[in-house]
Amino acid sequence: MAENYRPSPVFDRLGSGADEQQPGAPFFDEVEAAAFPDHVLRYRNQRWAEDVGLGDLSDAQWIDHFGRFEPLPENLPRALAIRYHGHQFRSYNPEIGDGRGFLFAQLCDGQDRLLDLGTKGSGQTPYSRFGDGRLTLKGGVREVLATEMLEALGVYTSKSFSLIETGEALERNDEPSPTRSSVLVRLSHSHVRFGVFQRLAFEKNDQAIGDLVDYCIRHFYPSLEAAEGETRIVEFFGAVAKRTAKLVADWMAAGFVHGVLNTDNMNVTGESFDYGPWRFAPVADPNFTAAYFDQTGLYAFGRQAEAGAWNLAQFGGALSRIADADALSEALRGFGDDYEAAMADAYFRRLGLARGGDDDYATVTEFLRWMTASGAPYEQVFFDWFCGEPSQARAETSSAKSFYLTDDFAPVRERLLAHAPEKPERLEHDYFRRSAPQTMLIEDVEAIWSGVAERDDWSAFATKIDKVAEMRGAYGFNASLYDRAAAPTSSAASESA
């Protein structure tokens, strides 16, 4: 291991001694990975591997750890399937948990952040129910593409760390079957979902709820350590609500629809993760959905803020067992204002413009009204008008230029040009000399997958990863910093090591 490898296994200490007959209760179960018949490395995130001290692993060692799941040195000795419940499409489900994944390892990075390495498709657990605990190769490819694109567009997201094809034939209702199998490892800031708290509340385990709040504050919100009693819990909830508002605003600015915003798919750090039927919107359509089974549009593009607030209310309900419900409700009432502020931040950042003041949210709403009414291509508009005035000549030669010649666009143009560009030197990047931006629309994804499925041709996948990396470099959004001011201190990191 490299010198900057910093193992920090701490989640397995939760619940220690609580139940001698069931170690880990009520937070997790110790589990074992499936024994796969084959291991073909399809994706290795070398950039992030180097950041956490795992970049010098050979491919054979990589497969041993992330395909066969041999424990990393001085890390978790056994994989942990985390227990949780959740509202799924607003119906409470007490029969879920980590059904095809587990927490494999924990470590600290150069920012002193505690990070998790978790799996998807690693085999059955006590929560698999009737599932096989596997992940299709197409599902793994889609998650890699989603996380790479979201990070490039400025969304704080889990990172697809490893994708290994595992040599099994899987039967699925939503894919031509049999289909190929894979196991994914993701690097993320936390796997503590809202649903973990919901399960503890369902079990009326107030002590465990308090212990988990302490864990989250110690490792994710250390600035709240000095708070005491119920104030501590309410402030923690308010901090999670603020991060959730930012997450949803960043999704909106990216034109992203998560697809399945259940309470078990949102976590306490406000980090985007767990991608199933996601999509990027081709245009600003508030009714655009990602999941074919979302018949009512519950999680449509324009309803994601509503979903975030609703999920927070359920999270707050779980915390109300150990804190005042009225105080928690008051904290949640700030979500609307937090969301408006986050929307202004997110859209101005994506447009490469400096914030101006109180009128900024009105600029965003007028921009979105025009985008929605005009049907202009979502990603192309941001590409054409990045940094405002310095890009005006580029926009006038764009394939979307007809959208900019209308009377309806005139007030939008005026607002955009009224703001100073942020770091206009970014326009010198080769990316902005192209005629069109990188996209990750459903047709892009299906074209990549067809090459893999029909000819085992991975060239389009590799090319897309490279082009998204170019876009990430051009925009320079740092979506990987988790509020440096609130990162765990060195002493906290030492305690967790």
Just list the catalytic residues: 264
Could you tell me the two tokens for 462?
Answer: 């590799």
Name the region of 466 (left: φ>0; alpha: ψ -120 to 50; beta: rest): alpha
Q: How far apart are CA 244 and CA 469, in angstroms?
A: 26
> Which residues is 164 bridged to in the sheet?
41, 183
Give 179's Cβ-side CA count (13 Å radius).
20
Q: Are 415 and 366 in contact (CB under 8 A)?
A: yes
3-state secondary structure of 351: helix
Cα–Cα distance, 488 to 497 (Å, whole number): 12
Cβ neighbours around 142 below 10 Å, total:
21
Task: Note whether 179 and 169 are within 8 A (CB).
Answer: yes
Please report where in the chains the tokens 């079990």 appear, as a residue: 203
Helices (H) and strands (E) in the chain, counts: 16, 12
The crossing angle, in degrees rounded to 10, of helices 442-455 and 137-152 is 140
Q: At residue 255, what are phi and psi to the nearest 5 degrees?
A: 70, 30
Fill in the DSSP letter of residue 353: B
DSSP secondary structure, 22-87, as one string: STTTTTEEEE-----S--EEEEE-HHHHHHTT-TT--HHHHHHHHTS-PPPTTS-SSEEEEB--EE
